[in-house]
Chains A and B, each alone.
Chain A
Amino acid sequence: MESAQNRLQAVSRLPWIWAFLAAFLVWLATIIFTQGQGSAQILSAALSFATFSVIVGIGQMYVITLGPGNVDLSIPATMTFAGAVSMKIMDTQDAMVLPGLVIALGCGAAVGTFNFGLIRALRIPPIIATLSSSFLVQSAAIAYGRGIKIKPPPMLAEFTTYRIAGVPLLAICVVGLAVLMGVVLHRTVYGRSVTAIGQNQRAAELAGISVGFIRFATYLLSAVLAGLCGYLLSGFSGGASLNMGAEYLLASIAVVVIGGTSVAGGFSNLPGLWGAALFMFLLVTMLNTFGLSAGFRLILTGVIIVGVITLAGGRKQS
């Protein structure tokens, strides 16, 4: 019984290899084109940018694992809101870096609680709930930020862009975060409950899992990670801007799907998030290097996302 379960887990973890393989091939194609020039810089940049997709991807993955219909559409708005509020309160003072972090996480927690409150009180699908709340949160961010780009404290800017021998410090931290969240997912009661609910909510309920609480914790987690991402991204990119979260709606869902997590829920895949995030960034880099126009770049990005999900979906079915 135990070994059969292990084997099942080993198989379910396998899909992440494809994301890394695809990332490697795209990188290879790029450096063949540039004849080896800048190969290390490309990887370093990819690690930097992938970090942010992975942070929100972890939250989105936990949410999607809860089962069909569970997806957090409020991630971009939460990032923008947490970024704007924390940057304004820190007001470029180094002493405020830690309080600012707490505030950003608090913003996330507030949005997460509100999201779950809507799901629970209005009994509406999470997609609609997170969509409605994202309207409000985005509006609050616009009204609060007033379109002014406030610089991050120098210490935060330095931390988010610091590199050790070319490897971004932030990427190392987020690899640590991913490992931690992997342990939480596979080894704790909470993580296993998330997976159990995704596989069969009724069975999980009958097994005595408090479904409501686990779902609440998961939407909270996703929003808090979005808050963290907004805080770090503001530091990295020199301030919070009002559309900084926009691209992370697709990114957070895409890294989860390309990374090998089942969209139907119940099977998640943490290492795949990194592979997929690297792949997404390296792909854009490759298309840029080939000198394609923005239009072609967008089309190819879209086609590849649809292609990957088509192949992944097919594999799951067979």
Chain B
Amino acid sequence: MSSLMTPRLLRNLLPAISLTVLLLAIFYLQPRAMSYLGLNLLLNLALPIAFATLAQMCMMTVNDLDLGIGAYVGFVACIGATFLRDTPALGVLMLLACVAAYAALGALIHLRNLPSIVVTLGMSFVWLGLALLVLPTPGGKAPDWIRAIMTWKTPMLPFTIYASVGVALIVHIILMRSAYGAVLRGVGGNARSVERAGWSLLRAKVTMYALAGVFGIFSGLALIGLTTSADANIALRYTLLSIAGAILGGGEFVGGRISPIGAVIGATTLTLAGSFLSFLRISPDWQIGAQGGILIIVLALRILINRAEAK
């Protein structure tokens, strides 16, 4: 038993265990949640948050933090509900420009050695301003094909679950199993040695930022697929949620220690926290408090496991 449950394995399983415990608690409180419809309602909004969390995780891989991701997702949602529906070509072009902007941001931050927190916080104003220009008042309409994907009635389990698992596995293979993925994570671990080994730090940073931009786009589009209309402020809370989700999923903020599967699980756990409270008949006022509480509990458990490992 003790040889099987090593602290390392336990630490890797911690995000999945937290999610399972939360799910079991919800099923115990409300057995009817254990159905196709119930799961769909519970996990409805998990996918956009999971994508935002993956974007945040990309930034954390190279030891940066994105405090503008929420505003960015909101901007993408606004483009999605206007240009992407009315003039698809222009809409796609604008989304590509968004990714290019993120890549440029990565280059700027690397070349000038800037603190990512301040730059992305400044950029959050830019994204919010652009979103207001595109869509001054809440409205717009999601393109039908996005709506069709997001409301797809998949067999057995809701679409969100298949999509989350698929995305988590794909990103896991790209970042954790590929050769260049190891280099990218190495930048967060020891940038100097990666550079000495002949890899371009600039290229690595630009890649990760562009990837964050791409996941931000997926997040925004998935979001309007569910809400059908957009609003410049629609995703502002994603900024803090995505950081919490990435940490909850085993990301360590420094050292390039990340976990794509964990990040998706972390985002799902945070989404469930709200439902859990409502099943306990606790006022939704405490929703963000519960998310903070879960974060602290999981971090505390991780410390306990690390201590056990040190012994």
Q: Quick check: is B296 within 8 A (CB to CB) of the other chain? A: yes
Chain B proximity of A129: nearest CB distance (Å): 9
Q: Quick check: is A268 within 8 A (CB to CB) of the other chain? A: no
Q: Quick check: is A250 within 8 A (CB to CB) of the other chain? A: yes
Interface string of A122-134 (1 = CB under 8 A from B): 1111011001111
In contact, A310 and B114 (Cβ under 8 angstroms) = yes
In contact, B295 and A132 (Cβ under 8 angstroms) = yes
- Comparing A22-30, A101-109, A299-307, the segment that makes contact with chain B is A299-307
A264 contact set on B, CB distance < 8 A: 115
Complex: A18 Cα to B300 Cα, angstroms: 44
Q: Quick check: is B117 within 8 A (CB to CB) of the other chain? A: yes
| B303 contact from A122, A254, A303, Cβ within 8 A | A122
List residues 47-72 of chain B with CB under 8 A from any CB of chain A.
65
Q: Known contacts A122-B296, A299-B126, A302-B125: does B132 contact A128 (CB below 8 Å)?
A: no
Q: Quick check: is A314 within 8 A (CB to CB) of the other chain? A: yes
Interface string of B267-311 (1 = CB under 8 A from A): 000000000000000010111111111011001100100000000
Chain B residue with the shortest CB-CB distance to A298: B129
Chain B proximity of A276: nearest CB distance (Å): 12
In contact, B283 and A143 (Cβ under 8 angstroms) = yes
Chain A proximity of B254: nearest CB distance (Å): 7
In contact, A313 and B240 (Cβ under 8 angstroms) = no
In contact, A295 and B130 (Cβ under 8 angstroms) = yes
In contact, A139 and B286 (Cβ under 8 angstroms) = yes
In contact, B112 and A139 (Cβ under 8 angstroms) = no
In contact, B129 and A121 (Cβ under 8 angstroms) = no
Number of A positions contacting B (CB below 8 A): 47
Q: Quick check: is B122 within 8 A (CB to CB) of the other chain? A: yes
A32 contact set on B, CB distance < 8 A: none
Chain A residue with the shortest CB-CB distance to B253: A125
Number of B positions contacting A (CB below 8 A): 44
Q: Quick check: is A189 within 8 A (CB to CB) of the other chain? A: no
In contact, B113 and A313 (Cβ under 8 angstroms) = yes
Chain B residue with the shortest CB-CB distance to A69: B254
In contact, A128 and B129 (Cβ under 8 angstroms) = no
In contact, A305 and B300 (Cβ under 8 angstroms) = no
In contact, B118 and A309 (Cβ under 8 angstroms) = yes
Complex: A71 Cα to B303 Cα, angstroms: 22
In contact, B133 and A253 (Cβ under 8 angstroms) = no
Q: Quick check: is A290 within 8 A (CB to CB) of the other chain? A: no
Q: Known contacts A122-B300, A127-B65, A313-B112: does B128 contact A298 (CB below 8 Å)?
A: yes
| A314 contact from B112, B131, B291, B292, Cβ within 8 A | B112
Chain A residue with the shortest CB-CB distance to B293: A136
Q: Known contacts A125-B254, A143-B283, A250-B121: does B244 contact A132 (CB below 8 Å)?
A: yes
List residues 110-158 of chain B with CB under 8 A from any CB of chain A.
112-115, 117-119, 121-133, 136
What are 17 sample pairs from A and B whose C-beta atoms fall under 8 A apart? A122-B296, A122-B299, A133-B292, A139-B286, A143-B283, A143-B286, A253-B121, A297-B129, A298-B129, A299-B125, A300-B129, A302-B122, A305-B118, A306-B122, A309-B119, A310-B108, A313-B114
The 7 A-B pairs of least Cβ separation, nearest first, read: A135-B292, A139-B289, A302-B125, A298-B129, A305-B122, A299-B129, A302-B126
